[in-house]
């Protein structure tokens, strides 16, 4: 019985080896393909009938990266293109970083919560228009939910119980 089992095992191993050595199977990364497509996170929402600009979205959005968008895009549209804010985003402190033509830099800060939750806008200005080279920054901080507090509490309690059992076992011996 042992001989037939080992023979069967050898036949399976040989067939797996012969099928795995086919020419169309590659293990590892094909670096040639990476050199051909080095874009990374570049999203193209361009409009063929208008002038398109390149901007970036950083921070707590679903899809941060570089964007190619029409010049009539505003901050609300760009935030939508980026998949919207994550739950950690602070929407009352959105910022646009802009480099002007005279090489000076400015931050345009605006509150997106006005648009989402209020019946009347608190801010006197509307959402800013996006210009070429702008960077939309969506700041945020991690938020703890009840499940996070429960998980932390249970792990601390289980550690304390394990340590007390260990100490009791050491003292008894």
Q: Residue 66: beta bridge partners?
A: 42, 56
pLDDT in tens, 2-50: 567 666 666 776 665 555 555 554 544 454 554 444 455 888 888 889 9
pLDDT in tens, 128-147: 888 999 999 999 888 888 98
pLDDT in tens, 52-73: 999 999 999 999 999 999 999 8
Which domains does the chain possess?
Answer: 38-138 (3.10.560)
- In whole angstroms, what is the distance from residue 133 CA to residue 136 CA? 10
Which letter, b or e, does each residue of 116-139 get, where b requires 16 or more Cβ atoms within 10 Å of its Cβ?
Answer: eeeeeeeeeeebbebeeebbbbbe
Q: Edge to edge, what strands does the sheet with 52-59 contain?
A: 42-44, 65-70, 52-59, 135-138, 94-99, 105-110
């Amino acid at each position: 019985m042992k001989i037939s089992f080992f023979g069967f095992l050898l036949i399976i191993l040989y067939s797996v080896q012969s099928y795995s050595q086919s020419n169309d199977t590659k293990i590892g990364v094909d670096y040639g393909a990476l050199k051909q497509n080095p874009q990374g996170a570049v999203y193209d929402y361009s409009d063929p009938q208008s002038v398109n600009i390149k901007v970036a979205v950083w921070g707590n959005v679903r899809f941060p990266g570089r964007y190619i968008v029409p010049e009539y895009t505003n901050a609300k549209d760009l935030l939508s293109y980026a998949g919207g804010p994550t739950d950690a985003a602070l929407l009352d402190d959105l910022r646009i970083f802009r480099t002007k033509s005279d090489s000076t830099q400015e931050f345009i800060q605006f509150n997106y919560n006005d648009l989402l939750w209020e019946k009347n806008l608190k801010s006197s200005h509307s959402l800013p228009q996006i210009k070429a080279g702008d960077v939309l920054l969506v700041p945020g901080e991690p938020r703890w939910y009840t499940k996070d507090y429960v998980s932390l509490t249970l792990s601390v309690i289980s550690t304390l119980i394990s340590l007390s059992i260990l100490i009791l076992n050491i003292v008894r011996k």
